[in-house]
Structures are given as structure tokens and as C-alpha cells.
Amino acid sequence: MSLMKSWVESANRADSPFPLNNLPYGVFETAELEPRCGVAIGDMILDCQTAEEAGVIAVSDVALFDVPFWNEVMEEGSALWAALRTRLTEILAEGSADQAAVESMLVPQADATLHMPILVSEYTDFYAGKNHAFNVGTMFRGPENALPPNWLHIPIGYNGRASSVVVSGTAVRRPWGQLKGPNDDAPRWAPCARFDLELEMGAIVGTSSDGPITVQEADDNIFGYVLLNDWSARDIQAWEYQPLGPFQAKATATTISPWIVTKAALEPFRCDTPAREKELLPHLRDCGPMLYDIDLSVTLAPEGKKATTITRTNYNMMYYSAAQQLAHHTTSGCPMNVGDLLGSGTISGPTKPERGSLLELSWGGKEPLTLDTGEERCFLEDGDTLTLHGAAKGDGYTIGFGACTGTVLPALDDPYKR
């Protein structure tokens, strides 16, 4: 597929992350408009509420855009998703008869503030990147025991907190917690000293299910994807995670990018998961290309200083696809809800420059990372701004996600000291 031309000229630039091929969904407000659903096109946003009220995108008998989130659209199902995308393409395409009516419904992105695009129902984070799992396991158990015995058979995950999922641009405060070093006799109460990022993708469930579903059904149920930073307090995690896994170490915040890139926009970029070292059981076996070729990178900017690209990798490095993760999630009969968010797990490539966390890049703090400013980092410092970037590259166009950004604020004064 090549670039689809739009009458919104900025959407036709080669460097635009939001061409007509993309049409990602978000929520925005301006000084004049209350928060509402919008569609990114070039450097503009289509006001969906106004467009629906004017009958321009009336694809349902009920109002879908009188609320500032996309859950209502998701609940209508995949047939409506397709109809909406077709209609949006029609009204924004070059030569559209609707141009004159729609022009007044566009808002400059520069004038807009972006909000959470969905109401997150539940949040589950997986540990499904083999390079990341091997690196972390090697640090703590040695290469011969790096992967747990179950890792090559099921996508491992844990249930996180939907309440702490935030949109790009939200500052993240360094957490307090119990810390215990390997040579300490007892834990101590202190701010996290090994705060980290995890470069992930997030899959948004658009169709509910009430019982086990197949991998193909799971893929059909996914509405779209976002970039996701799973902020991680490594020192809190090291003390608490045995035997039930991450808890408070992962509950501070999870940041997502503001635009949902639909599965339909990503269709040209489908690719296969890696070759299996062990055959999966039938309910998890691949049934076609379920991953996507999406270039990913992360920049780190110390306070008031320029950013350094600290890693570059690709979503195609995942061992398990989002569809396999979702299918596995349902095997116990666990209901899945519209608006559920699934974190992929840290995405790392096989070489050091492709590692998706500072834990890996600094090898547990033993190999500090040198920034372009000359400063070193083993883990995040106060004032650091992390930005995740993602783009699928087509024939003369780019499918972008928008930045996924967060700045680390200093820990509060001891919240229990009275």
C-alpha cells in the first residue's frame, strides 16, 4: 500500500505520523472545546462530536461521540469499526465532496491538550519478550537458568492497576517502598533508588468475551495499539516479588501514548512471531501473522538538557503476540472487558543497543550508560524525561503513535512521618 492522499495537506508530508492511512483515535480539548473524541489527520484533529452532530459521520442509530472516550465505539463491534474508518477515509480523502463541510471541524493539534483515549477497564502486563526475559534471568540466575521452565510454553503475566494508567505528558513521581539489599539484615523504608522504564506496546481489547477464545478470535477482538511505558521500581521489586510477582514496584504509573492506532491501520505491517523453541499447545499456536513490524525507540533527556536516544528496537521481537496473550488470558474462563489494556512486556532485541530497559542497558547498574550530554545513567534521576517513539514505515508514508512521555518528579517527603 502507498500513501493515500488527503485534502489536509499536512497529512501528505512524508514525515507526517498521521496520514490518511493512519487515522488514529484520541481525546482532546481546547480553550473553546470540552474534552471529546478526535481523529488525528496530519497536524490537525477532526472533532468527532461536532461531525456526528452534523450528520457527517453518522454510522450508528445512537450517539457515540457525546462522551470523551472511545469505549462506546468499541462496544458497537467490528462491523461499526470498519464502517467508521471507511467513512472517515471518504470525508478526508483528496477530492472529497465533504471537504467544505468538514474543514470547520478541524482543530490544530498545536492548540489541543490530549487526554486518556479510553476508560481502562482492567490492566494486565505480560513478560513476553524473550530477549528481555533472558537478560533479566541471566542477571539473577545465570544464563543456564535464565528462563523459567514455563516461559516457552505460556505468556507469563500479572494483573496490574488500571487506576494508575496515565496518558503521555503526565509527570510520574518517584515512589517510596521497602528496600533490602543483598547484604542488609532487614528492609528499610526509603524512596526508590533504581527507578526504570520498560519499552512496551499496549493492546486495547475492543470486544468483551466470557470464556475461552481462540488466538484468531482474540486477534479479532483487539481494537488497536498504543505505546506503553511500564515504570518499574527495581529495588522495591527485588524485595517484594517472591513468591507472587510484581506488586507495588509496578503500581506507580503506566504511561500510554495518546492516540490509538487501529488494527486496520497496521494490517500492511503484519509479521510472524519468531520460530518456536518448543511447540505450543494447540490453543496457543500461531494461526497467521499476529505481530507487527513497528520501529521503536526511547529518548532520555536530563532536566533542561537535550535528549539522547538510548535504545532502538522493533515490536517484531516479541515471542508471544497480543492475540496469544489475550487468548491465554481467557483460558480459565476469565471474562475480558471492553477497554481492557494488555502490556506486551519489555521489548528488547538481541544486541545491547536494542535493550528496552535501563536494567538491561546498564546490566543491573554495573555498566553505566553515557548520554550525549556526557552524564551517566544506571537508572532514572529526578527531572529525567523519557519519551517512547513508534512508527511503522510504509511505501512513502508512516503510521505513527504520537509520543509517550513522562518526567520523573522527586519523591514526596516521607508520607508517614507526622
The full DSSP string for 301-323 is E-TTS--EEEEEEEGGG-SS-HH
Q: Coil, strand, or helix at residue 25?
A: strand
Pairwise CA distance, residues 10 & 320, whole Å = 36
- Residue 257 region, left (φ>0) first, then alpha (ψ -120 to 50), else beta? beta
Residue 179 CB contacts under 8 Å (≥ 6 apart), including other chains: 187, 188, 189, 190, 192, 193, 235, 236, 239
Pairwise CA distance, residues 24 & 29, whole Å = 16
Which residue, 238, 125, 119, 111, is CA-closest to 187?
Answer: 238
Q: State the pairing for strand pair 222-230/254-256.
A: antiparallel
Pairwise CA distance, residues 68 & 48, whole Å = 10
Which residue, 215, 218, 255, 217, is CA-closest to 401?
Answer: 255
What is the CA angle 217-220-226, rounded to 5?
125
Q: Coil, strand, or helix at residue 73?
A: helix
Question: Has 132 been annotated as catalytic?
Answer: yes
Catalytic position from the list 132, 328, 329, 389? 132
Question: Cell digits for 221?
Answer: 477482538
What residues act catalytically? 132
